[in-house]
Structure formats: structure tokens, C-alpha cells
Amino acid sequence: MLIDFNNLNINNLSFQTDFEHKIKNFLEEWFSDGDTVKVQTSGSTGTPKIFAIEKKKMINSAVMTCNFLGLQEGDKALLCLPVEYIAGKMMTVRSAERKLKLIVAEPSLQPLKDLNEEVDFCAMTPLQVENSLEQLYLIKNLIIGGAAVSESLKQKIFNNQRLSNTSNRIFETYGMSETLSHIALKKLMPEPEDYFTAFENVSISTDERGCLKIFAPNVNAEVLQTNDLVDIKNEKQFKFLGRIDNVINSGGVKIFPETLEVLVKKEIPNEAVFIGIKDESLGQKLILVVEGEKSEDITNKISAIPFDKKFHHPKEIIFTEKIPRTPNGKVNRMELHKIIAERL
């Protein structure tokens, strides 16, 4: 179905599927006299909860994204995310605020399979993108969120975009629930960027640990303190280095595992995770854990990687059948550390 927010009459729309009825319920709530709307958490880190968010702050968030991407009244957007969660609700709010034409597609792993026209804007998860590579050329501005974009997926996106010979823009997002979706974007295509760029009216800084602090008064009155170690380029741009919880101290030197993993995953298709195992002389010994069967070819490729520092080379490479993950699919580093420590 298509919802034209420049000429909206909810009563004239035909809502048929369960998903479309959820959209109808949200639209009625959004255009009601209430100051807030209800949003459900995903439950990936605990029991799902429902909480209220101010409409004004959601509008402010929508404006930041639309302005950054240059979206104009009458542009077409595609909604393919569950509308009970913040990501789907924000796609709807952006469309309402900028008076876009919103194409509604049932959320699935292949949301573009029935799309036969170009759209100006869409938000997708990495897994949806993975299953829609051949149709990405139809989206002029794509933002990817919900989880980090892996190096292997970035390479697949690059290869498919090159074959389709398009100049469409694809971004990775940075944000959290407290910022009502994202507050910064990093371009992946057509010219890959190393740094996220924060939106207008968003200020960034670091604490004494080097962790990112965010002040986005339009969406949250408080200064938000993260545990994300960053390199700040200027007042608007920052590079994610890794979580402070994951930093490895080896021989008195701090090592950021996520940064090294990016280099490794450019060379091998396997999941690869750096961890620090207790060592009498070094404090922590740098270990690289690779998911999959032991392979001399993979070991040789890793050994040939030109790491910036000599101590970035792993002291040992360990292959394991499966790397443990959290319920939302992220690597469970604590559990992996425990498993490998018991093996050594």
C-alpha cells in the first residue's frame, strides 16, 4: 500500500494485513491530541518493555535525518521495519514530517523482492541488506542500523553497487534508544568514510577515558555518556574504535580489538574476534579466535596482514567451531573469553 502524507486521509486508506493495521493504529495515535506515543523495546537484552516518547522529540529526530539526507516533500520512502518498535515508528514519523509518499512493505528478510520502482529513502537492518543486494540500486538513500555492518557485508555492497553502476548513497548509523534512533551517519557508498558525522544541533566530546559523550538537546535533555572509545576528528566527526569493556592491555599497551578485527575481516570471510588471555609476562596475551575449521590458507592470510604495530599481530590463532553470540546476534565476548581460557 501507499500512504501519501501530503494528502492524508486515514479513513480513505485500505488497511488489510495485520502489519497495515498496526500502521493504522500508530497513525491514529500519532495524529491524536496526546503528547506521547508508546514504543516497545525489542527485548534483545531483557524482557520487552513499553514506554512513552514525546512526539516533539520524535519530530526533532525526524527533521535531523531528513535534513541530513536532503529529503524533499513528495519523495518516496519505503517502510519495511516493524512499526511497533522505534525504527519503524521513526520511518513513519519522518514520512509524516517531510510529507513523503510512504510505500509499505511487510517486514521480512527480503523486503525489496516485490519493489519495482526507485525510492528516495529506506532504512534496513544488515540482515535485510544481505538478502537484498541485487535490488539495492532501487534505493537512492539507504541507512543501515540495528547492528554493526560487517566488513564482509560492506564488500558485498561495494561489489553489487559497482556492477549496477549507480551513485546511490548508503550509510551506516550510530545511535541508541536514548537518542530516538541515530544521531550520526557514516557513508559506505559511493565514497566510503571512516568517520561518523553527527547531525546538526548534536555536540560530541569525550570523557577522561576517551569515551564518547553526546549532547542532543532536541531529542534528550541530558548529556549521554557512552562506553564507546572514539577518535574525534573535529566538532562533528568521530571514529568508533571499540567498547572500553573490550580493551586489551598487553605489555602495558592498550589494544582495541574491534579495530584489528576490521583489518582481519577484509582478508578472510570467517567471523574473527581478538581477546586478551591472562599472561604472566604481558598481563594479557593477544589471541585471535577464528570461527570455522582450521585452515592453513586462512592462517597465512592473517599472518600477511600489515598491522600498524608489531604487537597487533596475534600471539596465537585459535579456530573454533562456533563463536558464542548474544540473543540479538552480537558476539558474546565474555563467554568466548571464558571458553578459550578453559582450553588454554
Indicate if 301 and 224 belong to the same structural domain: no
Q: Same domain, yes or no, for 233 and 289?
A: no
Task: Tell me if the bond preceding 190 is cis, omega within 30° of 0.
Answer: yes
pTM above 0.75, yes or no: yes
List per-residue pLDDT tens for the chain, 344 residues long: 999 999 999 988 999 999 999 999 999 999 999 999 988 765 544 556 788 899 999 999 999 999 999 999 999 999 999 998 889 999 999 999 999 999 999 999 999 999 999 999 999 999 899 999 999 999 999 999 988 888 888 989 998 887 777 779 999 999 987 888 899 999 999 999 999 999 999 999 999 999 999 999 999 999 999 999 999 999 999 999 989 989 999 999 999 999 999 999 999 989 999 999 999 889 999 999 999 999 999 999 999 999 999 999 999 999 999 999 876 567 889 999 999 999 88
Grid cell of 45 as nine digits: 537484552
Judgement on whether residues 220 and 328 belong to the same structural domain of the protein: no
Same domain, 280 and 149: no
Q: How far apart are alpha carbons 305 and 263 in whole angstroms? A: 8
- List, as one string, the DSSP characters of 15-64: --SHHHHHHHHHHHHHTSS-SEEEEE---TTSS--EEEEEHHHHHHHHHH
Give the domain CATH number at 139. 3.40.50.12780
Based on the fold, state whether residues 126 and 251 are members of the same structural domain. Answer: no
189 and 308 belong to one structural domain: no
Domain count, the chain: 2
Q: In 3D, which of 121, 19, 112 has the Cα closest to residue 74? A: 121
Give me the domain span that covers residue 147: 2-243
